[in-house]
Amino acid sequence: MNASGAGSSTGIRLHAPAPGWAIKADVVVVGSGVAGLTVALRCAAAGAKVTVVTKAHLDDGSTRWAQGGIAAALGDGDTPEQHLDDTLVAGAGLCDEEAVRTLVSEGPDAVRRLMATGARFDTDPASGEILLTREGGHHRHRIVHAGGDATGAEVSRALIGAVRAAGIELIENALVLDLLDDAQGRTAGVTLHVMGQGRRDGVGAVHSRAVVLATGGMGQVFSATTNPAVSTGDGVALALRAGAEVSDVEFVQFHPTVLWLGPDAEGQQPLVSEAVRGEGAYLVDAEGVRFMVGQHELAELAPRDIVAKAITRRMQETGAQHMYLDGRHFGPRMWAERFPTILAACRAHGIDPVTGLIPVAPAAHYASGGVRTDLHGRTTVPGLYACGEVACTGVHGANRLASNSLLEGLVFAERIAADVLADRSEPPAEPVVPAPGGAPLLASEARFEVQRIMTAGAGVLRSAESLTVAAGALERLHTAAVEAYDREGKTAEPCVETWESTNLSLVARVLVAAARRREETRGCHWREDRPDRDDRDWRRHLVVRLTPHRTLDVRTTQGPDLPPVRGARAAAVVGDDGAGSARG
């Protein structure tokens, strides 16, 4: 498994009671989306004892909300090399090419194995061949889909069914708090809080020699997002407290076409899949002008960052709060058969896309960065793995290519399982059980303050000024909690809401620190004061870690490839003074 990496525990953990119960497993998987359940199934099939921990119910994560599909070179005339080229272009010069090549070459077989697990994708009624569509940034029809626009729901259904059939131990309604380690600093499990359900409740622990984070994204750090309410950055925050490195967190993808519900709408917003544009819908302003024509060779099917920027620019130019998506020419049958989920969502909000225009605007959608891993999902903390949206494998670079997310979850989940299974010779060491207490917590209402700060200062449009204001406001929230605890021993009451607020605060601070440091516009990171891409100085990654003093150490890599995470293959990372330091 992992050799010793750069990460070491910060000694920081969430304020929580001591674990009141404990169970043992070979591997604990945190999260129940495509990434987590694929890891669990592969490990269990080889005889490993697996425990899956999920924050709500098994199907409440982001996977089931995925509409578009899974990208893979499965069609006639398509090749992994063409898929690689499209991914590299979308990633705006920051993809790790080896990681992308792994994704596109192993992707087709991973999709076939998903089908063997029970996932049923849409097929041509006459030929029985899998139907493929296009989305933004793709030059080929290579997106498999299910239920028209309900791919994620079908993938989730198939994997959950397989997990239940395999008898894998499940702990639902559980928020994972912090990583446990042994006396040598190696991963030894997790602490978690079960929300009064089933045979266990309160704070407990799962002891294991491998922990796989598959917790999804951090979209709830913004006021408007396509992410479900559970996406509060818990995995990234846990990894930072454990001493792991994160990378590329400044690259938050704002999906260009999210159903606009009004200026005061907050929380999860309905997504209008890119596949709608892939089938021929187009973007217009209030005057009916197709403003994407001439902006990019693919017009409405340009990569997401380009479309989101174009929509935002047009909104600024016209003083509008949204643009429109026009799919009236599809007709009622195509809407009902190809996009039933989107049709229902629109009509639920009083909009009929068959006869009228769909109001759309960008909203936070996907974190291209996350916990830094190698090609086997290993983080810089021995025994800790990360997979799916919580991870930064280097595949997405500065902007994720449409429908590469589910594929990344499949491919790297299988690689993690292989790595976990390759080394089970030694029994897990006993964890060092934490004493009660821990770092101070933010009040539950701080969640909304963090969202307000981030939306105003670190949204689609950013600048040195807006990011400085955001950084100051976030730091005041953090400092007030720390000082109250250090001075008076006071902290918010430990509970799910305060733990989530504290996690959101940490990931927001990291995101803003990275966005301030990257003084250029690249991919989905758009700096108004630095409008140009700067390959000479910024074709490199930012790597962030949390220090034991609760400060953030932000460093840059030497180039677009992510450094290895294993100590034996350590690479240099350039610090602020330009000097290289060994990084595992």
- CA-nearest of 243, 259, 383 to 322 is 259
Q: How far is 7 from 519, CA to CA, in rounded Å? A: 27
**Residue 427 near residue 110 (C-beta atoms within 8 A):** no
Cβ atoms of 513 and 552 closer than 8 Å: yes
Q: Which residues contact 437 (CB under 8 A, 6 or more apart)?
A: 15
Distance of CA 268 to the CA centre of its chain: 15
Q: Which of 202, 208, 195 is nearest to 169 (CA)?
A: 208
42 is catalytic: no
Closest of 149, 137, 185, 146 to residue 11, by C-alpha: 185
Query: Active site residue: 13, 134, 277, 304, which one?
Result: 304
Q: What are phi and psi of 438, to 5 degrees?
A: 130, -170
CB 156 within 8 A of CB 66: no
Residue 418 in tokens:
């292989």
What count of Cα atoms within 13 Å lies in the side-chain half-sphere of residue 517?
25
- DSSP category for residue 354: T
Query: Going by C-beta distance under 8 Å and a sequence separation of 6 or more, which residues neighbour residue 112?
Result: none
Contact by Cβ (8 Å): 198, 172: yes
Return the DSSP state at 150. Answer: -
Task: Give catalytic residue positions.
Answer: 304
